Amino acid sequence: MSPKPRALKVSYRWHLRMVMADHGMFATSDLLPLLAERGVVLSREQVYRLVAKVPERLSLSTLAALCDILECTPTELIEPVPAETRPATVVSARAAVHDIRPRRARITPDATP
């Protein structure tokens, strides 16, 4: 019996801000009307999160609109990379609370008359 293939976890890097900058777009609000022209209506906050953070979910219509606006391919926006694998650390609740609990203050009488 052959060994099971090891599951390879994949993550990605999101390069929307960099691609926007390459096209002279520095404000997230620049994308609002351009996306709306292509039928993708998002709020200012949603567009900001799309640009400033790595999206967990992204519709294909939004991705297609971004590629059309920025004249790029999905591979220029999304770079697959191996996921970081860190060993899980187990910390008990008692240990975590102990580390942040303040020390008891000691009050002494003032020595000046």
**HEC readout, the chain:** CCCCCCCCCEEEEECHHHHHHHCCCCCHHHHHHHHHHCCCCCCHHHHHHHHHCCCCCCCHHHHHHHHHHHCCCHHHHEEEEECCCCCCCCCCHHHHHHHHCCCCCCCCCCCCC
Give pLDDT, residue 94. Answer: 57
106 part of a folded domain: no
The CATH number covering residue 40 comes to 1.10.260
Q: How many domains does the chain have?
A: 1
Give pLDDT, residue 27. Answer: 93
107 part of a folded domain: no
28 part of a folded domain: yes
61 part of a folded domain: yes
Give pLDDT, residue 76. Answer: 96
95 part of a folded domain: yes
pTM: 0.66
- Which residue numbers in the chain have pLDDT < 50? none
**Domain hosting residue 43, numbered range:** 10-100
